Structure 1
């Protein structure tokens, strides 16, 4: 039941608000105050959303709509995101604790441009192409068609729900699919607003549905549902494995963007006036709650001490506080559970022999008595076999590893189960690029971090996932390729039927 006096939000299925007998409480990570409630979806709601999406897809109300019409509606949605940016920012930071500067620059600021990119792709994508063929053994005409898959499930995490939701919703809609979005129970509001805006801008009922619910129930149902043709998931590697297992029952197409333990290699000639700030930006943005964060910083022994000294000094200037204050650099982590998990990792790192160069716990002060807070933390004397160097922490915790040779640094960087992102800081661009070429990661940044462009692919090697989001090939993940062969041979004797039918036909 909804709490009296608190705003209550419902799911969005088949163009209608849909409530539930149970609710999630949405609490502000900085204060633990109740923000609102959200209907708690069930397996039945997931089935209802899939049925609606399937019905809409089969009707052709969106899947058969001319691409220029789909693109026009999607452009209207992208423009509305920009117009309503303040509302999206409030919806997002009240749930996930991002600072307002980060929300403007990343969480919500990227949303309109990324959605508009997929609106453009709806018109520019090559849905059909003719393929030149040789005349042997018979003359023919061949065409490759890219057709929408059908019903796509988008399972979205709590850290960047709007943008990461758009990475799935955008290409799915551009290709002509219907979509069921499963929001995280902690951060449903920005995607709920997007679904409502999409409906207002002309997306027909059933084409874009939004459900909530526990991942182990509602997410699992979507992953295994026989009428879901594609699953796109962003989250932990452990959950990604389970989604892949569930999807295998009906051999669904799956896109997984999973965990990371990204290395950044600081070469001996790196600019020490820039690289320490860059390393902190790579790790500490949004309290380290980014899958592609630079959490392992590999520093050459010749500059190690000075680099760490400069980086610690700069990290001391990071201001923790109210996320809605423009002067705040870093806010809380998302939940009590997340805070306790990070604290546990830090305590184990200390027990393993890592040295706390900065932070290592929770901040003190009356402003931090409520909510879920972690200090910006830097560990030194870390070796790559320590747990803190191997597992994804998802917090503002950096480990610094000293190396002697570039070959050693590359080996350490690649010695991980993950391969989402990596980076290099160096003064000689050719050397830095050569190192980057040897790093096994889906994205490698040279002298920067967190540079995401919707026109460029994003995804990981190894256990960081499968498939790619963004880029010119993003719609490939949401379409099926069909080869259409039209034989142009008009005389029987010119066919190759005699491979089977050796006796000539009677005159």
Structure 2
């Protein structure tokens, strides 16, 4: 089967089938530096070819019964669940995912496929009232071709959460995965869907760098771009797409706050805080970057979180270490720069701050204040910054001072008081008595401010809004009479 046969895609990509393009690149393990496989590298001209294929295949795919589209997605989920170890291994090897994180991500990918299979079957319009003797209705129709640009950190799920609903609703997709995770975030997903019976041309993968992404955004026959990545890149894509009047769905970065109120269980809070900051080396848009802790618990919280950080090893996923590598040296150096600049500005390093190769030690910065790099910037590494607060008004100001607004966690002994507090906080997601990292296929997901353009993922409603257009249709028994 294609899903298992690496020789089917070694040195190739999925563009109207498995083909060579001439140029190739290696998938490289961030843990060992070894080459894992090769894949074909696309050019801007290949984006045009991919769009040609997608436009042609989409017409037939859109006319395919929703039952069949649903069945393809169900079969893809079944294949993935039956052979989940294949994708888990690639997530560990290529993305540096610890085994638990890899298993969690594969489960999310399967959930997205299951949800999308149901999306294909939901009602797609409504009957409208009219002041005239006619049938008036609105219905949702596919946009045509959706461009998906996905990142390296959760490469499989952050691609599939756009691919699956777009396909379910009758669209074709052109996918540009991050070049650092082209296999786990692109080619393996194409192999699964091919094995499930997705017709050739409905999904095309164009591996490459920023020039390929720019060509996809500029392609006039791709009316919707779904992008997950950094805020600077998202701004550039939004500006470029806006000139072409495209719909650009952006899920961007964050410097998410975990609030520890004075009535919280401080031991449990520190455990939640460690998970929120250090899971997958902090390379998650929802990672807890800022720990805002009531002054009465502050010293104890700093001590507990620092102790936890000191006991968490980073190492190759194959070793079973709970933390793997930072994706590459450039990203590692950005993380270390945030730590050193924050310390230079007056923060206190209480754990970590060191690295060996791409393995960055879990790190804790205490006494972080507004203006420090760790307070202001998305870190995207295993670094927890801790800031004390004394009053609720001060807390609200600290939370909302960030330009980001993706996810917030509030830890407390009074959950309803936290529910009321949440109304004052600018965030697309709020978790009460949990840390900031969570995702479910059926739940709305998106941020505000510098974190993106709101909810564009999760659940039938958001997915239908993201990947269809509304069409108004009227029908009457006879041609209307007019005085002309």
TM-score bracket relative to the smaller structure: over 0.9
Q: Distance in 1 between matches of 2:194 and 2:20?
A: 18
Q: Distance in 2 between matches of 1:139 and 1:236?
A: 52
Q: Distance in 1 between matches of 2:153 and 2:430?
A: 22
Q: Contact conserved, 1:100 with 1:325, CA < 8 A, in 2?
A: no
> Which structure has the bigger radius of gyration?
1
1:17 aligns with 2:3: no
1:276 aligns with 2:248: no
Question: Any idea what the Cα deviations from partners look like across 1:421-460, whole Å, max 9, x if unmatched?
Answer: 1110101111111122221111111111322111111011
Question: Any idea what the Cα deviations from partners look like across 1:389-433, whole Å, max 9, x if unmatched?
Answer: 111111001110110101111110011111111110101111111
Instruction: After TM superposition, give the deviation of residue 22 of structure 1 in Å.
Output: 2.2
Q: Name stretches of at least 5 consecutive residues in structure 1 with no aligned partner.
A: 363-367
Q: Distance in 2 between matches of 1:444 and 1:102?
A: 22
The residue that corresponds to 2:142 in the other structure is 148
Instruction: After TM superposition, give the deviation of residue 102 of structure 1 in Å.
Output: 1.3
Question: Any idea what the Cα deviations from partners look like across 1:204-249, whole Å, max 9, x if unmatched?
Answer: 111011110112x100000011111110000011111111122123
Q: Distance in 2 between matches of 1:187 and 1:437?
A: 38
Q: Distance in 1 between matches of 2:394 and 2:282?
A: 26
Question: Any idea what the Cα deviations from partners look like across 1:332-382, whole Å, max 9, x if unmatched?
Answer: 1111111111111111111111100111121xxxxx4xx411110110111
Q: Contact conserved, 1:139 with 1:489, CA < 8 A, in 2?
A: no
Question: Any idea what the Cα deviations from partners look like across 1:78-97, whole Å, max 9, x if unmatched?
Answer: 11111121000112211111
Q: Distance in 2 between matches of 1:213 and 1:387?
A: 31
Q: Contact conserved, 1:93 with 1:323, CA < 8 A, in 2?
A: yes
Q: Which has the higher mean CA deviation after the structures are superposed, 306-315 or 153-162?
A: 306-315
Q: Distance in 2 between matches of 1:18 and 1:25?
A: 16
| Number of equivalences | 473
The residue that corresponds to 1:316 in the other structure is 310
Work out which of the residue numbers 194, 197, 201 in structure 2 matches 1:199. Answer: 194
Work out which of the residue numbers 161, 174, 194 in structure 1 matches 2:155. Answer: 161
Q: Contact conserved, 2:305 with 2:364, CA < 8 A, in 1?
A: no
Q: Describe how 1:496-507 pairs up with structure 2 within 5 A.
A: none
SS at match of 2:71: helix
Work out which of the residue numbers 350, 356, 368 in structure 2 matches 1:357. Answer: 350
Question: Any idea what the Cα deviations from partners look like across 1:5-62, whole Å, max 9, x if unmatched?
Answer: 9x93311011x112233222222111212222222111111111111001112xx321
Work out which of the residue numbers 129, 134, 137 in structure 2 matches 1:132. Answer: 129
CA RMSD of aligned residues (A): 1.7
The residue that corresponds to 2:3 in the other structure is none
Q: Contact conserved, 2:108 with 2:440, CA < 8 A, in 1?
A: no
Q: Describe how 1:108-123 pairs up with structure 2 within 5 A.
A: 108-123=106-121
SS at match of 1:394: coil
The residue that corresponds to 2:182 in the other structure is 188
1:379 aligns with 2:385: no
Work out which of the residue numbers 243, 246, 257 in structure 1 matches 2:251. Answer: 257
Q: Contact conserved, 2:252 with 2:450, CA < 8 A, in 1?
A: yes
Q: Contact conserved, 1:154 with 1:179, CA < 8 A, in 2?
A: yes
Q: Distance in 1 between matches of 2:44 and 2:479?
A: 55
Q: Name stretches of at least 5 consecutive residues in structure 2 with no aligned partner.
A: 1-6
Q: TM-score, normalised by structure 1?
A: 0.90
The residue that corresponds to 1:365 in the other structure is none
